[in-house]
């Protein structure tokens, strides 16, 4: 490829860095040579540059026909963060945009027109967009030379944040003409690494080179403290806040518990924010902005908070409850100390928390009988299902439990297997095929349940580990020193 600008020039002029970090330069060169890569890099270490710089280098090539210029598609599961990511690029003078469900029709059509005319060099999009015929017509007019997949662990059904729509990436890649592909994540076990490549119709190490920058964050201190009741948890949270004045996050599993601890801390005179998924979207956005702008905020949050939080000086992350997996725990502590200065990560281990996580696992793993009941409603009462919606169907299937996500999981998987299509909220579904008995058999579902239980066992082993906890994490993620 004949380049009119060099990667190092883009790195300096556009992003303000004088040198690549770690293996970034190798990844950029490999991408520009049209080779595929899987990049595993700790949070905050510059994964995005690995595809942004090749995208801009290619776009800088002189071409009289703008629509013929190469386009980089960035697949992301994080609708709420696309605007932030694109705004940051636009401030640097990069021709980037996003298209997702947050846009009104006029905005969407304007961006479609811009894509077709070659206005944009980077396009951030969700996998669901590829089910829209109008988008497929637009994207067919561009030469998509690079597909970047952010949060690539979502591709794998064995990843900690599995998203059925993300498993369509192999089909999407074919629709785009099998462009150069770069998949990026902060966490992936060896098993998940292989599965990511397989879902892309590639073979790891043969078609797709692995760049593993490790998971070690030397400035983070990892500690676990056994506790026996909520009073001890409250004492540790209070002491941590009084001892460390910098920004901090305390993670909870249950909203009810979060609110209880919030009341107790307010009685202590400890100011803080609270963030959870039941808050209106606008209020969540405002809370995130307050946290980012404040000097030394403390926030009590569920795991709904954190994706895209890039506050460099978070001095501590505490888990008041046991996380569901090593992967989610590592993602959450990764928000601490991005400025490279010492930061503390403390997990409070109460054996009673195991019961809550076991219940969560049960509620996120429908059995065969549940799938069959859902399909029966879709087959015989689809008009009522669409008219009355998700909560009506939930009440027909089981007693209402706040954290019971079996229905959402079942509908998502039926969408994945092309049995149904449409939207879940608001409910507007269409039945396409028969029940996929060969795909949703007892063996598959039991295996999935077993893997989720094993993930929970490993976080318990981490909590009880007598040795170096960073070594434990390295072993779990298959990192050799």
Residues 304 and 388 in one domain: no
Domain extent, residue 274, equals 220-357
Flag the least confident range among 18-32, 54-68, 406-420.
54-68
Whether 173 is covered by a domain: the verdict is: yes
Query: Closest Cα partner for 238 from 209, 262, 255, 203?
Result: 262
Whether 456 is covered by a domain: the verdict is: no
Whether 164 is covered by a domain: the verdict is: yes
DSSP 206-269: TTEEEEE-----TTEEEEEEE--SHHHHHHHHHHHHHH--S-EEEE-S-HHHHHHHHHHHHHTT
Question: In the predicted model, what is the mean pLDDT of residues 24-34?
Answer: 95
Residues 239 and 205 in one domain: no
Whether 469 is covered by a domain: the verdict is: no
Q: In the chain, how many domains are there?
A: 3
Whether 147 is covered by a domain: the verdict is: yes
Residues 205 and 320 in one domain: no
Whether 441 is covered by a domain: the verdict is: no
Residues 266 and 165 in one domain: no
Digit-coded pLDDT (tens) for 381-428: 999 999 999 989 988 888 767 678 889 888 988 887 789 988 888 899
Whether 445 is covered by a domain: the verdict is: no
146, 180, 212 - which closes a domain = 212
Orientation angle between helical segments 7-15 and 24-32, nearest 10 degrees: 120
How many residues are recorded in the chain?
481
Digit-coded pLDDT (tens) for 236-293: 999 999 999 899 999 999 999 999 999 999 999 999 999 998 888 889 888 988 998 8
Q: How many CB atoms lie within 10 A of CB 170?
A: 15
The predicted model scores a pTM of 0.83
Averaged confidence pLDDT in the chain: 89
CATH number of the structural domain spanning residue 167? 3.40.50.300
Is the distance from CB of 244 to CB of 337 less than 8 angstroms?
no
Whether 480 is covered by a domain: the verdict is: no
Residues 203 and 225 in one domain: no
């Amino acid at each position: 490829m004949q380049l009119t600008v060099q990667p190092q020039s883009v790195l300096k002029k556009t992003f303000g860095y004088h040198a690549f970090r770690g293996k970034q330069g190798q990844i950029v060169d490999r991408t520009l040579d049209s080779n595929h890569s899987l990049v595993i890099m700790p949070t905050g270490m510059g994964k995005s540059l690995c595809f942004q710089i090749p995208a801009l280098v290619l776009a800088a090539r002189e071409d009289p026909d703008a629509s013929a210029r190469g386009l980089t598609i960035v697949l992301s599961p994080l609708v709420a963060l696309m605007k932030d990511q694109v705004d940051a690029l636009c401030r640097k003078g990069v021709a980037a945009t996003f298209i997702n469900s947050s846009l009104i029709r006029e905005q969407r059509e304007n961006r479609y027109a811009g894509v077709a005319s070659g206005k944009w060099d980077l396009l951030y999009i969700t996998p669901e967009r590829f089910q829209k015929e109008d988008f497929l017509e637009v994207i067919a007019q561009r030469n998509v030379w690079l597909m970047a997949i952010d949060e690539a662990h979502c591709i794998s059904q064995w990843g900690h944040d599995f998203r059925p729509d993300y498993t369509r990436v192999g089909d999407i890649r074919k629709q785009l003409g099998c462009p150069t592909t770069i998949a990026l994540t902060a966490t992936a076990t060896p098993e998940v690494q292989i599965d990511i490549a397989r879902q892309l119709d590639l073979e790891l190490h043969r078609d797709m080179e692995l760049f593993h920058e490790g998971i070690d964050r030397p400035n983070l201190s990892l500690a676990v403290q056994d506790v026996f009741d909520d009073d001890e948890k409250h004492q540790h949270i209070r002491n941590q806040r009084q001892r460390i004045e910098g920004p901090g996050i305390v993670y909870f599993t249950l909203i009810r518990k979060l609110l209880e601890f919030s009341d107790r801390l307010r009685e202590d005179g400890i100011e803080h924010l609270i963030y959870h998924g039941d808050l209106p979207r606008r209020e969540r956005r405002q809370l995130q902005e307050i946290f980012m702008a404040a000097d030394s905020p403390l926030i009590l949050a569920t795991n709904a908070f954190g994706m895209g939080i890039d506050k460099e000086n978070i001095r501590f992350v505490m888990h008041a409850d046991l996380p569901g997996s090593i992967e989610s725990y590592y993602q959450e502590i990764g928000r601490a100390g991005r400025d490279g200065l010492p930061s503390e990560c403390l997990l409070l281990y109460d054996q009673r928390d195991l019961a809550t996580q076991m219940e969560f696992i049960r509620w996120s793993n429908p059995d065969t009988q549940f799938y069959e009941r859902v399909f029966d409603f879709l087959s015989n009462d689809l008009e009522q299902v669409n008219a009355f919606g998700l909560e009506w169907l939930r009440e027909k299937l089981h007693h209402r439990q706040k954290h019971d996500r079996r229905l959402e999981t079942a509908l998502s998987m039926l969408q994945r297997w092309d049995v149904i299509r449409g939207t879940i909220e608001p409910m507007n579904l269409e039945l396409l095929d028969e029940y996929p008995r060969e795909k949703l058999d007892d063996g598959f579902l039991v295996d999935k349940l077993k893997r989720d239980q094993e993930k929970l066992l490993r976080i318990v082993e981490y909590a009880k580990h007598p040795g170096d906890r960073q070594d434990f994490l390295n072993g779990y993620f298959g990192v050799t020193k």
